[in-house]
Amino acid sequence: MTVAELASALGAEVLNKGDMSREVTGVYVCDLIGRAAARMRRGDAWITIMTNRNVAAAAEIAGAACVLMADDVSPDAELARVMTGTGAAFLRCGGSAYTLAHTLRRLTGLE
């Protein structure tokens, strides 16, 4: 499933397009920036409620396909500014991290 297909299926708001044609190959849920950067795999959809500029850095380091900002959180001003320089798409979703992870599992079969 591509990021564009995922965004559509979730009804997510696209905050930064990044590469919407990128294939999502896994899912990672974490709110500790350093751990996410170290443990995420290239191509993962990262579910988080973190909203500061370090989210963009962790997504770039790990090669995340997209960042799903759960609970309808909005990026702070710095993240909004720096996320446009990353290859990852940033999406805002209304569901909780748990609900999004469950939905992604159902939609994609990914773990």
DSSP state letters, 26-72: EEEE-S-HHHHHHH--TTEEEEE---STHHHHHHHHHT-SEEEE-TT
Cβ atoms of 77 and 51 within 8 Å: the answer is no
Average pLDDT over residues 35-62: 96
pLDDT-derived band at 14 (thresholds 50, 70, 90) equals very high
pLDDT at 108 over 90: no
The number of domains in the chain is 1
Q: What angle do CA 54, 58, 64 make, to 5 degrees?
A: 135
110 pLDDT higher than 90: no
pLDDT (mean) for 86-94: 94
Taking 80 as the threshold, does the pLDDT of residue 111 lie above it?
no
Domain that holds residue 36: 3-108
Evaluate if residue 47 carries a pLDDT over 80.
Answer: yes
The pLDDT > 90 percentage for the chain reads 92
Q: How far is CA 11 from CA 5, 48, 60, 86, in A?
A: 10, 17, 24, 22
pLDDT at 70 over 90: yes
pTM: 0.95
103: CATH: 3.40.1390.20
The rounded percent of the chain whose pLDDT value lies above 70 is: 100
